[in-house]
Structure 1
């Protein structure tokens, strides 16, 4: 049985850029371009018709926020779709607005082909893949608002950097499974689990799980993890 291809919809009003993305996607056997749109309205309609896995969404279409409006509309009715925002010159406000709406990633339009393909695949497989330019913006925002280690934004950023294994462990800890129960469920030795938990604590700069869990509950991480698995 063949592996299903990743269905991608392109929403971009510049025909040359749209054509470039179509060519990039067509060269990867794991990906299928299911359509292209040149406006937020058209993109919303094609998303409903073609049911793509991933949408490459230009921020500025018929106006400066058309892509953001289309993103909001699509995710409202199709929350399972992953949207990667595209722009020529990003601003901090637009970056944060895109992630607030539920975008999976944010790339500059002139990124190389490999970066675009990686963003599509990472979004499809629920892998964190913030490009360095966006990660840098978030870091600068931390400094601007003089965040502390306990700020919610800071801890949410750390959460996005956890590995899939660490996310699985964290989800079980949030559900109040004991370490022994987690070892049985995940078929790992206690020493392996201890190492994984220590890695999580190190990233949050905390000394115990009891310090991390309340922070994650404030961020509604249990709900995010449930949505991620379609529960």
Structure 2
């Protein structure tokens, strides 16, 4: 028989913990090595027992304790696989758990076979995300990637703007009208029109409103403001 998979349970509800312990003990491939009731205790037992897999409740002594313990454990023991447990599945906790390096994510009321499967899949590095969670993760990561690409692309365009064009764009993002911009900058409408055409061409957009909307969505006005503050 091969070496059993050592599993630590970090769960503050004794009844839930007992159920999980019973489920694990019935499988010959798994060895239950301990139970912790808090994030701090879980971190200590992880260091002492060196489990292969941890079943980690998200809400322990507080709503973020499981996530903090996960971060701490994986920072010092990155080979441990952590499967998050929760009674309430929300997008925010799903994304945060995977961002920290969790391997999987289970609702506490899952049947015994799903719990055992999650432990073994985590140990053997087999993908086992439930389809609804996998869809959320894929969609969110795709959105983040698109935003990052767009942000980098538009910062590149910013680097191509002249100081005058950048000043005009910043005034547009502050909701000044073209007439007001002409007065503030002491330029003729024809001059501003020429500058605007150059900006539109660089961003490959047909209107200033499109550019302003895009830059606000990417929080570029805030980034520019922070940059000026630091200078």
Counterpart position of 2:18? 19
**1:52 is aligned to 2:55:** no
**1:124 is aligned to 2:116:** no
TM-score normalised to structure 2 length: 0.60
Counterpart position of 2:88? 89
- Structure-to-structure mapping, 1:68-83, within 5 angstroms: 68-83=67-82
SS, match of residue 9 in structure 1: strand
Structure having the larger proportion of residues in helix: 2
Counterpart position of 1:229? none
Counterpart position of 2:155? none
Change (3 A) 1:51 1:143: closer
Number of aligned pairs?
149
Counterpart position of 1:3? 2
- Structure-to-structure mapping, 1:91-106, within 5 angstroms: 91-106=90-105
Counterpart position of 2:63? 64
Shift of 1:129: 0.7
Counterpart position of 2:136? 137
SS, match of residue 8 in structure 2: strand
Counterpart position of 2:35? 36
What per-residue deviation string (whole Å, max 9, x for no partner) do you get for residues 43-101 of structure 1? 00000000000000000000000000000000000000000000000110110111010
Shift of 1:102: 0.4
- Structure-to-structure mapping, 1:105-184, within 5 angstroms: 105-138=104-137, 141=140
Shift of 1:7: 0.1
Structure 2: distance between partners of 1:142 and 1:85: 19
Between stretches 53-62 and 124-133, larger displacement belongs to 124-133
Shift of 1:146: 11
TM-score normalised to structure 1 length: 0.60
Structure 2: distance between partners of 1:102 and 1:139: 15
Structure 1: distance between partners of 2:143 and 2:68: 27
Shift of 1:147: 6.0
Shift of 1:141: 4.0
What per-residue deviation string (whole Å, max 9, x for no partner) do you get for residues 176-213 of structure 1? xxxxxxxxxxxxxxxxxxxxxxxxxxxxxxxxxxxxxx
Structure 1: distance between partners of 2:85 and 2:114: 12
Change (3 A) 1:145 1:101: closer
**Which 5+ residue runs of structure 1 have no aligned equivalent?**
152-231
